[in-house]
Amino acid sequence: MSKTILITGSSSGIGNVTARHFQSKGWNVIATMRSPEKDWELGLLENVLVTRLDVQDGGSILAAVNAGIACFGSIDVLVNNAGYGLSGPLEATSLDKIRRQFDTNVIGLIETTKAVLPHWRANKTGTVINISSPAGVVGFPLNSLYCASKFAVEGLSKALSFELDAIGVTVKLVTPGNMDTDFSGRSFDFNNDVERVEYQSIVDKFGLVRRNFSRGANPQIVAQVIYQAATDGSKQLRYVAGEDAELLIAAQKSTNDEQLMAGIKSQFGL
């Protein structure tokens, strides 16, 4: 019997590539997104259900989970992939956007996971894969809020793994590096206020680093790592996708905070 995976944020990027990868491996795929009408082609694939799920809308989360179970009989794996990136000086960022950052990356992830837990508790099995980021283990200039949200995902995943083990559910983290997706366009939000002149030097340097940032790797790499995490049957917590992410995580493990922060300051010319 084919297994079933539910993926949030499947309209583009990592989520879309991952949905197609699992479908090609014979899985049933519940590909969820805020506007499913925008990717009707994904729904033409065999054993793929495209349905609406907005992680800021609890009703849509429950509806998507129920629709997936009704269609395929069960959900074996949940990939919490939907995300939003907020950058810029904290002082220049509205409270509404700060709330959106945490509602999307943290609260929405929690609510989606909670929606699947009764099903898994009854079946005594399941795997939740949370998409993290190097920004969840290392702080970056002008990314205090995005980093805070991803640090929260890291802490949540590690702590949650203990209690979910009691019901047969495994928690995993996938940490992708820079990928060639449209995340920086569709899901990236930079805030600034030029009248706060004290921050403009770091804003300029941040912009220069972003413009000079090399093109990311193929997101298929992440899809393959997510597939490994979903199928290897291990209790391994972290999986890393991309050489840049591997280097950053290795540096975080091998050096102290001051040395690591000095290296990041140097990279940004601060």
CA-nearest of 132, 198, 121, 200 to 163 is: 121
Q: Indicate if 234 belongs to the active site.
A: no
CA-nearest of 17, 1, 15 to 218 is: 17
Residue tagged active-site, from 12, 132, 133, 149:
132
Q: Where are the alpha helices (DSSP H) in the chain?
A: 13-24, 58-72, 95-102, 108-123, 144-165, 183-186, 200-212, 220-231, 243-254, 257-268
User: Domain containing 205: what range?
Assistant: 4-268
Instruction: Identify whether the C-beta of residue 48 lies closer than 8 Å to the C-beta of residue 69.
Output: no
CA-nearest of 55, 79, 59, 108 to 3 is: 79
CATH number, domain at 79? 3.40.50.720
Tell me, what amino acid is at 179?
Answer: M
Q: Indicate if 150 belongs to the active site.
A: yes
**Segments of the chain scoring below 70 in pLDDT:** 179-188, 211-216
Residue written as token pair 């690591």: 260
Q: What percent of the chain has pLDDT over 90?
A: 70
Residue tagged active-site, from 150, 157, 172, 199:
150
Q: What is the pLDDT of residue 183?
A: 47
Q: What is the pLDDT of residue 1?
A: 76
* Residue 133 burial class via C-beta count within 10 angstroms: exposed 0-12, middle 13-18, buried 19 and up: buried
Q: What is the pLDDT of residue 205?
A: 86
Tokens of 134: 């190097």
Q: What is the pLDDT of residue 181?
A: 55
Instruction: Identify whether the C-beta of residue 145 lies closer than 8 Å to the C-beta of residue 90.
Output: yes
Q: What is the pLDDT of residue 113?
A: 98
Cα(201)–Cα(180) distance, integer angstroms:
28
**Secondary structure of the chain: what % helix, strand, coil (to 5)?**
55, 15, 30
Q: Is 0.95 surpassed by the pTM of this model?
A: no
Residue tagged active-site, from 84, 146, 227, 239:
146
Instruction: Identify whether the C-beta of residue 136 lies closer than 8 Å to the C-beta of residue 175.
Output: yes
The count of structural domains within the chain is 1
Beta bridge partners of 114: none
Q: What is the pLDDT of residue 213?
A: 60
Tokens of 3: 């297994």
Q: Indicate if 253 belongs to the active site.
A: no
Tokens of 72: 């395929």
Q: How does pLDDT run across 139-192, given as a tens digit for each residue?
A: 999 999 999 999 999 999 999 999 999 999 999 999 998 866 554 445 568 888
Tokens of 84: 């939003």
Cα(165)–Cα(74) distance, integer angstroms:
19
